[in-house]
Structure 1
């Protein structure tokens, strides 16, 4: 008798891609063959890898992939109404700010990479806000007391929200429809309500409990505005319950009518100013009025014939590029996907890149980095030599000092003209600070928790300075043509996740959906960009349960501390453009609530 591993006719993508197997077999009464059951509760696919959740979405005229189905539909509606990919991205982002407040909103920041078919080039926008002009490092330390890092909650980590200004900068350059049209779906849903999805309801419940506990402990100055905005009869909305936010609708209506100045110089700015004066926060009207986004040039490395693009600091995108310059020195495909060798070298490359991240990445106004050297083949080879394939590193140093010269949402949209938008937006840690200005309907971000308190460090807090940012959009081009707009949200997971998506697509030839469905790793414990807690014990390698047990044991023998969990692996969306046919292939994260859709 043959022994069949039960994939029930599914064609496995490649022999190097595997899944956990049961040791139990049964006899198939029809074929008479021994069948090995997978026993994971999953159904079986007719084609494709057995662990893939679904096929990629295919379309020609337009595509959108977001973490919320209603936001994806909003983007498609805008495209079908004659809007550009940018119009659709802004409309979807405004809707997600309402529908997924656990990850983003207009109280946060935004970064984007855009392929413009007219200029045939990529454009980058840094839409991050700055710290209060009127608060020095000494004043901040006096406020927070004798602690080693800035708290995540309350007024201490608040920075100016950059999202609204970024919308208008992007729209001015790439939009077709009026901004009022782009914001109208979010305004309608905010007034009429929408059903809360499963994952978002789960996190809204967590944050209610967290904020109320922090308020009692005195770590959040005011909680009534949050409660009146986000709770229903004193409780977080549950899965399937209708939720509305009429205060946010009014705020968006003012922005739709008065433009970005309504937010940064008008009634909204005055309300924010008055709120922070009342509760003792540092931001003032002048901080909002003087805010501006910055157009920047994306940077890239070539990885096995594909140009992978990220934005330069104050974000962490170049950590992904650093990892790729190290990994190009290894034959990942021959190692096998999620094999012990593959996971080991990926983890060690991450550790190396994150030591540089902790030492060198900061607001470029305050810290210049020699990116050409940092991302060079020579430096990548030099760092790769630090990797011992038989042993996990417990402690590493950052690279050559020549480098010094002086819970988030991701969405992507493509249109019939070839514009592709890679956009990421966040409040930083989950729902943000917990602070909601009077009657405005959104929570302020806590991005300022990422400043260092160490004098002399490039990322040390200073007045009117942009903090280190984790949120990073990404893009891949091939032969100077747009190939893939993608991102993978989730704090320090993002560079690690970007690299996993690139290697899944390039090295293991997965399709765009399989690349996101495959089991991931997340290493934590590297030195932080706040310079708090240097890595001395090698950290922890977190894995999903799809990794084989023999691989886990092999990694443990090399000295990796392993934790099997389901939490920190981020959320992925992508649109890949077939270079021959022009067909868009869309994918969305199965670990979230969203979907990809095209027409």
Structure 2
């Protein structure tokens, strides 16, 4: 039990249903949907779409999503890939010929076809109970009436405002400035798009006036997107991947997501006595940072569109982890692995819902960098993601930009099973940090027996492009010890990621937690 004289927050306990996410209005909307007879999928979709209005710098209908979920009474975890493909005419050689060595994140070349809306419509029809019109009601209402800008949202908005270009500056700035805390943000154009989708389904987004509006914004800047690219957008069902750590099974979304990286990292950490270390000491940070360098190097080499990669089983194999663990020197930091292949930013939202029938949904949804490309459609104000900057321009690489390919994605939903039973949907936001975050969260739970709220509150560190970012929650003594081990240590200007989780307890009660690094909360009934 936490010390109630110290700063912190308690987990939330409920019996009938629970939602945890990064904004209170979205959590409240999800619980309202459950009370109206919706299931966990209805609630998660309603909350997710609303998050695009509450946190427009993080996500929106111009983005992508991934889901893991269960059906009532089942412990089988299902995966849905709601990530979009590059337009058919995309060509890495064309960009290389322009002297580019990365896909420019603020250009139309970085825009893959947004697929979250197709995924949401598909899931509302196949897994939900209430229908799109009810699910989209909260987002339509708040897009029209407005949302007061929350503190963390205002902080991120100011940091990312320079990304906005053209008409996006009219839609997402206030007299040319980011909003103040409490200022009302409205998006009537998006409200109209959602009304059309509620009436006519996914085709209202991917064909006709809405699609034409997105196409015009892209083509005006030199994008090679065509109407057929939007019309053909489609989510897909996938088979999850999994690994075990300290008696717990970690279930991850398969590539093109980076979930296999978390499994590889935990497999490396198995070769060290993490539980025997100080949970907030330098030795644990050091070993974890070294494991991350190796796991992320494998990610950068191998993870891509599954139709173009062949080393997934190699990444998941125990012998691969054993060989990598042998490279770690407990007394000295290794040189940084190759730079991450995507432009690292930490702009994602996550929502998890469990209902009275114990259907569990783990949903992550993003436009990638803050405000995506910064390009918005003129009529409806739809911000377009820059997931295409997750491609590499290296010729012959499995993740090389190409027509109709999906890029390597940073967003990963998680699910934990124990003794074959699903016990926790969870997610850790934070761009490239997410696999490291999954491994750290799971280690906090199993190696140090933390409750889920304490496991989120705990300070974080992340080895990122040759810099070991160490949050202020660690002491100066720990930072000095890490520097003495050879790490280049910095305190990051922004908190590392965010997280949400719901534990399905053996006594039938639900326990929800929400990361204090965000504005959100867990709510139940």
Alignment partner of 1:258 out of 185, 195, 200: 200
The CA deviation string for residues 536-568 of structure 1, in whole angstroms up to 9 with x for no partner, is xxx111111221333222222211111123415
Cα deviation, 1:276-325, whole Å, max 9, x if unaligned, reads 33332221110011111110011111111110011111111111100111
User: Does the CA contact (< 8 Å) of 1:522 and 1:568 recur in 2?
Assistant: no
Task: Choose the corresponding residue for 2:440, options 471, 481, 500.
Answer: 500
Give 1:15's aligned residue: none
Q: Given the two structures, how large is their TM-score scaled by the length of structure 1?
A: 0.84
Match of residue 282 from structure 1:
224
Question: What per-residue deviation string (whole Å, max 9, x for no partner) do you get for residues 165-207 of structure 1?
Answer: 1112222332000111000111011111121111112222233
Give me the whole-angstrom Cα distance separating, in 1, the residues matched to 2:34 and 2:312: 40
**Aligned residue number for residue 331 of structure 2:** 390
Q: For residue 156 of structure 1, what is the aligned residue in structure 2? A: 109
Tell me if 1:408 matches 2:330. Answer: no
- Corresponding position: 1:146 with 2:79: no
Residue 293 in structure 1 maps to residue 220 in structure 2: no
Q: CA deviation at 1:380?
A: 1.8
Which deviates more, 268-277 or 455-464?
Answer: 268-277
- Aligned ranges 1:159-558 → 2 under 5 Å: 159-211=112-164, 223=166, 225-371=167-313, 373-395=314-336, 407-525=347-465, 539-558=466-485
Change (3 A) 1:478 1:442: same
Alignment partner of 1:121: what SS? coil
Give the match for residue 344 of structure 2: none
CA shift digits 1:343-389 (9 cap, x unpaired): 11111111110110111111011122242x42222222222111111
Aligned residue for 2:307, secondary structure, equals: coil
| C-alpha distance in 1 between matches for 2:81 and 2:426 | 17
SS in 2 for 1:436: coil
Looking at structure 1, the residues matched to 337 and 232 of structure 2 have their Cα atoms a distance apart, in angstroms, of: 41
Q: Within 2, Cα distance between the matches of 1:68 and 1:397? A: 35
Cα distance change of structure 1 residues 583 and 540 upon mapping to structure 2, 3 Å threshold = same
The answer for the alignment partner of 2:75 in structure 1 is 120
Q: 2:411 and 2:495 mapped to 1: Cα distance?
A: 15
**1:238 deviation in Å?**
1.2
Matched, 1:576 2:503: yes
SS of 2:424's equivalent?
strand
Greater radius of gyration (CA): 1
In structure 1, the partner of 2:60 is: 105
> What is the alpha-carbon distance in structure 2 between the residues aligned to residue 523 and residue 397 of structure 1?
12
SS of structure 1 residue aligned to 2:108 = coil
Q: Tell me: CA distance 1:466–1:572, structure 2 relative to 1, closer, same or farther (3 Å).
A: same
Distance in 2 (alpha carbons) for counterparts of 1:563 and 1:235: 29
Report the secondary structure of 1:572's partner residue.
strand
Q: Which has the higher contact order (CA 8 A, sep 6+)?
A: 2
Q: Is the 8 A contact 1:150 1:453 kept in 2?
A: yes
SS of 1:229's equivalent in the other structure is: helix
TM-score, L = length of structure 2: 0.95
Q: Secondary structure at the match of 1:381?
A: helix
For 2:321 and 2:107, locate their aligned partners in 1 and report how far apart those are by CA, in whole Å.
40
Contact 1:137-1:463 within 8 A present in 2 as well: no
CA distance in 1, matches of 2:280, 2:508: 31
Which deviates the most, 511-520 or 263-272? 263-272
In 2, Cα distance between the equivalents of 1:368 and 1:266? 38
- CA–CA distance in 2 between the matches of 1:119 and 1:226? 44
The number of residue pairs the alignment matches comes to 518
What corresponds to 1:591 in structure 2? Answer: 517
- Retained in 1: the 8 A contact 2:163–2:373? no
Query: What are structure 2's unaligned runs of at least 5 residues?
Result: 340-346
Q: Partner of 2:32: helix, strand, or coil?
A: helix
Secondary structure at 1:280's aligned position in 2?
coil
Secondary structure at 2:306 match in 1:
coil
Deviation of residue 244 (structure 1)?
1.0
Match of 2:28 in 1: 73
Q: What is the alpha-carbon distance in structure 2 between the residues aligned to residue 290 and residue 75 of structure 1?
A: 30
